[in-house]
Structure 1
Amino acid sequence: MLARALSQSFPGNSLFQQFACKNLLQNVTVLNIKCTRDSSFRSSEPVGDLNQYQNAEVVKNPPEWKYIERLISPRVIPKPLSKATYPSGWKPPKPDVDLKYFVPRTKNYMLPVYLRRTFRGQRIVTALRRVDGDIWQLEAELRYLIEKKLQKQIVTRVNEMNGLIEFKGDYVTIIKDYLHDKGL
């Protein structure tokens, strides 16, 4: 806005106008700028006398509290109710499973089978985490099952220290179905 006003005040050559405006704008300084963060506790005003504020009644257990408690997430995730079938297709683990390996559920009672997409969706890796016991036997069984279903070779990677098995490709449903059938 200042540059437009200056350019209109110099009649004649436009090159001269641009040069004059540029030199004038470089020499202009802005003063009286307060540089404070208003969100900081140091820049806020101190609290005055508490008697100037309205009196509030502190109630330990008001009747409205039951509506607020519904909105607060529970500290511990409740155990799911036992049913014959669930609408989502979720299956609880069987208590008496006698295998050389074990895959514990997550804190939300789900199987730890994840799909990772990297390099803008070009690399797809299925990861089975939290494997305890004979991880090599589980990897061999899953690889055999997937290769038999798809009629092609697949690439796997086992990290024995972390209890992680990775499969190159999207095999989440096949792995989950297999683990459900085994009772894990």
Structure 2
Amino acid sequence: MAALRIFARTVLSTCRQYSRRIDGVLSPGEDLGLRVAKRWASFKTSPVYNEETKYTDFEVSSDPKEWAFVERCLKATYIPSPPKEVHDLPSGWKPQREEAKSLPYYIERTKNHQQPVYLVRSKRGLRRLTNVRKIQGNIIALHAELKQYLFEATNRPIGSQILEPSGVIKFRGDYVSLIKEWLTKKGF
């Protein structure tokens, strides 16, 4: 242990000597030729740039016709409500049906009007969990129906976990497409 202390002290003392030279602080016996030029490390230490000829010219406009081109590039301030009567869209998206509200459980859509079913990968992609979120009402009845549907579709027992206070059901495995298909049939 004592040998490690001695070794560490000698290494630290040499590090201090080299750091003095890099910072530009010279010891009394050092030559000026060893000084390393200091680089600009941040905008605060760089010189002020005052040549206005290097800046791009701009003009302030208050014309509403020109502002329409700018508004196209800005992020939308709200998410528009989806259309009620949609038959077939290329993306396969379907709106929530009213008959889904009569069931003992309800799965709310996300703010972007998507079904809240997510695949979570962990342990370097080896562990896959399917999460169903935003569940309201009788979560145990929903869990039983979903588990039965997944068992019939895959012919394997499915491991699952219910988090009732947060309204989440987790299934062990990648079943996102099967669960979304079942939710669409139910009207969610």
TM-score (norm 2): 0.70
Instruction: State how far apart, in whole Å, the 1-side matches of 2:56 and 2:164 are.
Output: 64
Per the alignment, residue 111 of structure 2 pairs with 107
Structure possessing the higher radius of gyration over alpha carbons: 1
Secondary structure in 2 aligned to 1:117? Answer: strand
Per the alignment, residue 74 of structure 2 pairs with 72
Q: Is the 8 A contact 1:125 1:167 kept in 2?
A: yes
Deviation sequence 1:4-27 (CA, Å, 0-9, x none)? xxxxxxxxxxxxxxxxxxxxxxx8
User: Deviation at 1:32?
Assistant: 5.9
Per the alignment, residue 91 of structure 2 pairs with 88
Q: Which amino acid aligns with 1:160?
A: E
Per the alignment, residue 166 of structure 1 pairs with 170
CA change 1:30–1:157 in 2 (3 A) is farther
Q: Does 1:181 align with 2:181?
A: no
Q: Which amino acid aligns with 2:184?
A: H
Per the alignment, residue 135 of structure 1 pairs with 139
Q: Which one has the bigger helix percentage? A: 2
Deviation sequence 1:64-111 (CA, Å, 0-9, x none)? 322221121211011223422211111100124201111100111000
Q: Which amino acid aligns with 2:86?
A: K
Q: Is the 8 A contact 1:38 1:44 kept in 2?
A: no
Over the matched positions of the two proteins, sequence identity in percent amounts to 36
Segments of structure 1 that go 5 or more residues without pairing to the other structure are 1-26, 48-52
Q: Which amino acid aligns with 1:74?
A: A
Deviation sequence 1:112-148 (CA, Å, 0-9, x none)? 0001111122111111011111111111110011111
User: Deviation at 1:63?
Assistant: 3.0
**Count of residue pairs brought into register by the alignment:** 154
CA change 1:69–1:54 in 2 (3 A) is closer
